[in-house]
Structure 1
Amino acid sequence: MTTLRMAAAAAEFGRDLEEDFATVEHLIKDARNQGVRLLALPEACLGGYLLSLDDDTALDTGPPALALDGPEIRRLASLAGEMTVVAGYCESAGDTRYNSVVCVSGDGVLGNHRKVHQPLNEDASYASGDRFHAFDTPVGRIGMMICYDKAFPESARALALDGAEIGVCVSAWPGARTSPAADLAQDRWKRRFDLFDRARALENQIVWLSANQAGTFGSLRFVGSAKVVDPGGDILADTGVGAGLAVAELDVVQALETARRAMGHLRDRRPDTYTYAGAVTA
């Protein structure tokens, strides 16, 4: 039996890259001290998220745009060392900016994903990605997505069909914009965040790591709630609405085999029946 100790972080990040890297370094050190080999950090942890989800791009210039092959990502990889670390950032690709997430180890970049689904006015700040794919890492085959991506079942299903054993979703998921709950733990957007995490794990029978921003930034109050979910949809560790690390240990291969033994959701699919408007879905 080979177990994997993994963690998802809830933490607060802003525009100052040096402060963000100090937080990242602290989280990596904390995780390393707990024997963690796979760590998921939130969306936009390098440079912070948007100040608002309204059409308020004049509020500031947004997060700094970083090149995938630039010094900041190399610095992240150096901090990761022997660990596998997933972190969100604003990616610069020529004149185009993407809301992206990168997976690194001390050996360099292992994978990169550009956010496909953009909520509200996020498309005023970022271009959209166009695919989902899984990739191999020292801790297993991983598929990544960002925040609103997980509201679409097809996103996680595409990753699972590409062989992902572990789904990693990094977020800057806030509380409700209208009629917010005084107690963030009772907020309806937090409830949706948690439901999506559990459903995506269960319906694809994969391990699920969910990292999220915590605290406040601009007009947004983030719900935290970083967690590790097993292939049966059960939460193994959760930070609650505050900052912290959700840490869990699991034999990933055995957990997937056990979950899929009787009812294999991927195996028992009937794609020929999933039609709409004359089209067949993947």
Structure 2
Amino acid sequence: MNTLRMAAVSASFGRDLEEDFATVERLIGEARKQNVQLLALPEACLGGYLLSLDGDGTGDGGAADRGAAGDPGPPPLAVDGPEIRRLAALAGEMTVVAGYCEAAGDTRYNSVVCVTGDGVLGNHRKVHQPLNEDASYASGDRFRAFDTPVGRLGMMICYDKAFPESARALSLDGAEIGVCVSAWPGARTAASTDLAADRWKRRFDLFDRARALENQIVWVSANQTGTFGSLRFVGSAKVVDPGGEILAETGVTAGMAVAELDVARALVTARRSMGHLRDRRPETYDTSPGAVSV
């Protein structure tokens, strides 16, 4: 049996890159002790996320908010720069996925990179932007799977997973494992004092299970914890099997969800009788304007 040991992290990260790298190094060390081969770290774990998504002068990362809040925003890093090379060196033999603010000339993207000690294997720029996030980042324009030492991966960031087309595009491109990194907060209105009962936390969990089940792939979901600016993150890192069953999870606290699975066998078993990709009828899915009558 050829099993893969995977881990998804719930942890807090901020603006100080040295502190973030210290946390990343500690987490990689913990994962290595548990023989983890694939480790998913949260969105914006290198430099922190935005202070707010409201765009009301409280820190959404745009120019006005940076001045009002005294916050420079996430530090922009080049995908081929020294910080990502440092991450790769820490990864070594492990496949590590981590979120960061990508600098592409004067343009900034909310991005996630996959590395090993050999360098960058894949990079994804967040496509779907919630609320006022587009004041701080440009949008990505594609979903692509790629090969790694632990199998063919597809990556997405946070709100991307709210759109079934995102994970479906990756699974149709051959992704065996979907890795979604997030800085997913609790509800902005009518928030629950018990984060475990928060309605946005419930949505986070539902999306994780649904994306795994509908595409019959393994799903690895990392998220931030704690508070940053006006945001309170729900944690809830998890590993989900192709049947939508949660194999390991952290709950709303910081931690590492570790699970071991024979991915190839799990995919075959899930798709043996009811193959959701095989049984698609794309000729019936015309979504062009005027194709759907109300």
Q: TM-score, normalised by structure 1?
A: 0.98
Give a deviation string over 1:10-54, Cα, whole Å, max 9, x none: 000000000000000010000000010000000000000000011
In structure 2, C-alpha distance between the alignment counterparts of 1:196 and 1:268, rounded to whole Å: 22
Structure 1 range deviating more: 264-273 or 55-64: 55-64
Q: Are residue 24 (structure 1) and residue 35 (structure 2) matched? A: no
In structure 2, C-alpha distance between the alignment counterparts of 1:240 and 1:133, rounded to whole Å: 29
Give a deviation string over 1:137-196, Cα, whole Å, max 9, x none: 000000000000000000000000000000000000000000110100000000000000
Q: Are residue 118 (structure 1) and residue 121 (structure 2) matched? A: no
SS in 1 for 2:129: coil
Q: Are residue 192 (structure 1) and residue 203 (structure 2) matched? A: yes
Using the TM superposition, give the Cα deviation of residue 61 of structure 1 relative to its aligned residue in structure 2, in angstroms: 2.1
Partner of 1:161: 172
The counterpart of 1:132, out of the listed 139, 143, 149, is: 143
Partner of 2:250: 239
**Structure 2 unaligned spans of 5+:** none
Using the TM superposition, give the Cα deviation of residue 123 of structure 1 relative to its aligned residue in structure 2, in angstroms: 0.1
**Structure 1 unaligned spans of 5+:** none
Residue 243 of structure 1 aligns to which amino acid in structure 2? A
- Matched ranges for 1:1-282 at <5 A: 1-55=1-55, 56=57, 57=62, 58=65, 59=69, 60-276=71-287, 277-278=289-290
Residue 228 of structure 1 aligns to which amino acid in structure 2? V
In structure 2, C-alpha distance between the alignment counterparts of 1:243 and 1:112, rounded to whole Å: 25
Q: TM-score, normalised by structure 2?
A: 0.94
Residue 20 of structure 2 aligns to which amino acid in structure 1? D
Using the TM superposition, give the Cα deviation of residue 275 of structure 1 relative to its aligned residue in structure 2, in angstroms: 1.6
Using the TM superposition, give the Cα deviation of residue 278 of structure 1 relative to its aligned residue in structure 2, in angstroms: 4.9
Using the TM superposition, give the Cα deviation of residue 279 of structure 1 relative to its aligned residue in structure 2, in angstroms: 6.0
| % identical equivalent positions | 85
Residue 33 of structure 2 aligns to which amino acid in structure 1? N
Call closer, same or farther: CA 1:219–1:94 in 2, change over 3 Å. same
Residue 73 of structure 1 aligns to which amino acid in structure 2? I
SS in 2 for 1:275: coil
Residue 124 of structure 2 aligns to which amino acid in structure 1? H
Residue 246 of structure 2 aligns to which amino acid in structure 1? I
SS in 1 for 2:103: strand
In structure 2, C-alpha distance between the alignment counterparts of 1:279 and 1:174, rounded to whole Å: 36
